[in-house]
Amino acid sequence: MIAALHRAAALLAPTLLAAACASFSAVSPGDSAPTVEARVGAPGAVWKNADGSEVWEYPQGFYAVQTFMVAFGSDHVVREVHEVLNETYFSRIQPGMSREDVRRLIGKPREIWYFPARDEETWTWRYRDINYRLFNVLFDRSGGTVRSTLRLDEVLLLDGGRAKH
Amino acid sequence: MNTASSRLLLLLIPALLAGCAGFSAINTGASAQQVETLVGKPANVWKNADGSEVWEYPRGPLGAETYMVTLGPDRGVREVRQVLSDEYISKLHVGMTRDEARRLLGRPRDIGFSDLNDEEIWSWRYREWGVRNMELYVQFDRRTGALKKVTRFQVDTGDGMRK
């Protein structure tokens, strides 16, 4: 029964994922704010700029490998749509940047861990290069600034990582 | 290379080799005293009910090995194991306690926390097949102390661009 459910979920998952991605290709420059909301829903976060323009952030969830940013001009019309979980954006992250700088660039992380012994806070995003990978930004926890970045390749085990001992 | 730096290198090489050779120089049957002479005092000692002991030697954070030296009730060495390897890591399983994980792999390189999921994360660095730098995360439920998840990653030390 459980196995059957898993199989059904496995079959459904690609359809759902495809639907989620396709909806962002339906947002184009020139679209109005209400059109965007109608097509892809309310954003996870909104970043307001001094000139009246805005960026709407759409993380796709814990296991997802994409985060979309929809940039609006001060006329409330879409200027551009970009997917930010890739090297184009990761490579812009430099030591000394603030948590907000990072968040605005690549969106909400899937997880935040902190390591008291080295006063470090680690933000993690899952993305897809060739394999599934994790992109980590390591912050100085007290200072709130970027120390370094780290890329980790997920190791896939045939038994799903659950050893039978 | 000038003479001064080559002299320094010549001095360094035996020092480095001694660090590595220490554990392989421990023979079965060696005394506790001999172990201490070769590799120093352990970071931790685990005492078993039968009078045997396991001495723990983490070489991190710089090294990627942790040695466990088992001494019999007669205080003679039974075996020496390097435990940061697939053989031991694959013995981790859901439900294990922190203490069991510590006894299996020794002291973690680092301990982190996730407030969102109320987790405590133990991490180790190790080398796989002597060629790959790996990172191991073991996530425990902070409230129950039970192991929830084990993940391993290969560390990409580059800038993310594939060669």
* Chain A residues with CB-CB distance to B90 below 8 A: 163, 165
Mean predicted confidence (pLDDT) in B9-21: 52
Q: Of A14, A52, A13, which Cα lies nearest the Cα of A33?
A: A52
Both A89 and A163 in a single domain? yes
Which helix (H) or strand (E) element contains residue B13? helix B3-24
Class of domain B27-82: alpha beta
Give the tens place of pLDDT for each residue, A7-43. 555 555 544 444 445 478 889 999 999 999 999 999 9
Residue of A nearest to B96 (CA): A165
CA-based nearest distance A20→chain B, Å? 25
Question: B110 touching A, CB under 8 A?
Answer: yes
Q: Which range is least confidently modeled, A26-30, A91-95, B4-8? A: B4-8
Burial class (CB in 10 A: 0-12, 13-18, 19+), A3: exposed
Question: B159 touching A, CB under 8 A?
Answer: yes
pTM of the model: 0.78
The pLDDT assigned to A38 comes to: 93
Both A91 and A163 in a single domain? yes
Tokens of A86: 């890739």
Query: What is the average pLDDT value for chain A, to the nearest integer?
Result: 86
Both A137 and A159 in a single domain? yes
Question: B154 touching A, CB under 8 A?
Answer: yes
pLDDT at residue B39 tops 90: yes
Q: Domain boundaries in chain B?
A: 27-82, 86-154
Greater model confidence, A123 or B157: A123
Both A52 and A116 in a single domain? no
The pLDDT assigned to B60 comes to: 76
The strand pair at B66-71 and A132-140 is best described as: unpaired
| Chain A with chain B: Cβ pairs closer than 8 A | 69
Burial class (CB in 10 A: 0-12, 13-18, 19+), A4: exposed
* Chain B residues with CB-CB distance to A154 below 8 A: 151, 153
Greater model confidence, A165 or B11: B11
Give the tens place of pLDDT for each residue, B40-96. 999 999 999 999 999 999 987 778 999 999 999 999 999 999 999 999 999 999 999
The pLDDT assigned to B17 comes to: 47
CATH number of the domain within which A1 lies: 3.30.1450
Question: B61 touching A, CB under 8 A?
Answer: no
The pLDDT assigned to A19 comes to: 44
**Are A150 and B155 in contact (CB < 8 Å)?**
yes
ipTM over 0.90? The verdict is no
Number of CB atoms found within 10 A of residue A158's CB: 5
CATH number of the domain within which A91 lies: 3.30.1450.10
Both A54 and A100 in a single domain? no
> Domain boundary residue among A31, A58, A77?
A77
Greater model confidence, B18 or B85: B85
Burial class (CB in 10 A: 0-12, 13-18, 19+), A151: buried
The pLDDT assigned to A58 comes to: 96
The pLDDT assigned to A158 comes to: 63
> Domain boundary residue among A55, A77, A99?
A77
Query: What is the average pLDDT value for chain B, to the nearest integer?
Result: 87
The yes or no reply on domain B86-154 and CATH 3.30.1450.10 is: yes
* Chain A residues with CB-CB distance to B92 below 8 A: 163
Domain that residue A117 falls in:
84-165
CA-based nearest distance A164→chain B, Å? 8
Most A CBs within 10 Å, among B85, B107, B133, B151, to test the A interface = B151
Across the beta sheet with A67-72, the strand order is A45-48, A54-59, A67-72, A78-83
Residue B39, SS3 per DSSP: helix
> Domain boundary residue among A77, A105, A132?
A77
CA-based nearest distance B12→chain A, Å? 29
Both A92 and A53 in a single domain? no
CA-based nearest distance B155→chain A, Å? 5
Both A94 and A18 in a single domain? no
Topology agreement, domain B27-82 and domain B86-154: yes
Residue B123, SS3 per DSSP: strand
The strand pair at B44-47 and A145-154 is best described as: unpaired
**Are B150 and A152 in contact (CB < 8 Å)?**
no
Given a contact cutoff of 8 angstroms between Cβ atoms, the answer to whether A67 and A20 are in contact is no
**Are A134 and B153 in contact (CB < 8 Å)?**
yes
What pLDDT band is residue A165 in, cutting at 50, 70 and 90?
Answer: very low
